[in-house]
Amino acid sequence: MELDQLSQIITNDGAINGQQNGSIAGTSNNNNNNNGTPQMSVILTIRLLMQSKEVGSIIGKRGDHVKQIREKSGAKVNISDGSCPERIVTITGNVTTINKAFSMICRKSEEDLQALPNSVPQPPITMRLIVP
């Protein structure tokens, strides 16, 4: 699946894979806004399985890049222990914050590929969505 397609699935007008909010690893709270109209606030969690070397560039030196992703997106971004060849990147938040964090991760991966010399073949970057 292309990164753009996965991003589109995540951000499809607040729906995930054609389903209504809260249907994938999410919790919802009914809140009222100022005029008494109920609003649905949904917290979702997505998990990506990635190669450790690719996760390293997302983390950045001393964790600077992942900290920037957390601050700019507003999502909680956690990365599993580095003792395995593959690591789990967990992104938690509402649809908007998850979209921002995921987009920033994709952009960083794309920048890393473009930074390779032209003589070096560009290896594919694989992000697998973990579905419970």
- For the whole prediction, is pTM greater than 0.75? no
Please give the domain boundaries of the chain with CATH numbers for all domains: 3-30+40-114+123-130 (3.30.1370.10)
The amino acid at 90: T
CB 65 within 8 A of CB 112: no
Element holding 40 (H helix, E strand)? strand 38-51
pLDDT in tens, the chain (132 residues): 455 555 555 555 444 443 344 434 555 555 554 555 444 578 999 999 999 989 999 999 999 999 999 999 999 999 999 888 999 999 999 999 999 999 999 999 999 888 888 877 888 889 999 987
